[in-house]
Copies of this chain bind each other. A is one copy, B any other.
Amino acid sequence: MDAYDVILQKRDTRAYAATPLPEDAVRRILQAGRMAGSAKALEPVRAVAIRDGAQLAAFAACGNFTPHVPGAALAVALVLVPEEGMPLGEFAQWRGPFDAGRAAQNMMLAAWELGIASCPFTVHKGDAARAVLGLPPGHIVINAVAFGYADPAARDPMRGQRPRMALESYVHWERW
């Protein structure tokens, strides 16, 4: 499937079937994240891949808007390893989340090409998440992604046509 078609058709989807993901699909999703570029090639992003039901529920409890996460087939926590010598606040603003967004998008597009739906979620309770995931000191997790086959009983989630703002509103030429 052409990359452009996957990009246009991908919709964030929050209702998943109970079907597990094939092992090679999970590997492909993680490979896609790994291959995303990063600022100065510092590779600050790591993935914690969660499929265990109890662990999914515990991790879901670290976010404020995560009712879809315990029923996901896979959640990937995008763990950030801050840049040495850069204050954490600066890293969290300037570097980490942008690179995490690049990796997340790669993962979600690779999944969508295999017919697997996904939706990112924010991990609001950083300390709780560090404990649930057993992160080393200084490592942080702000964003994660839930994956699963779309629930066929949910309202046509793979074909949802959530409107976007018009291209003319999205783009400014040369200056605002």
Q: Tell whether A171 pairs with B101 under 8 Å between CB atoms, given A37-B10, A120-B39, A142-B93.
A: no
Give 9 A-B pairs besides A7-B110, A79-B176 with Cβ atoms closer than 8 angstroms.
A37-B119, A43-B164, A46-B169, A46-B171, A49-B171, A93-B93, A101-B103, A105-B106, A134-B175
Could you show 18 A-B contacts with beta carbons less than 8 Å apart?
Answer: A2-B3, A2-B113, A3-B110, A7-B35, A8-B31, A11-B37, A36-B105, A39-B120, A46-B169, A48-B172, A79-B176, A89-B89, A93-B97, A93-B142, A97-B97, A97-B98, A134-B175, A136-B176
CB distance from A120 to the nearest CB of B (A): 7
Does A153 sit within 8 A of B, measured CB to CB?
Answer: no
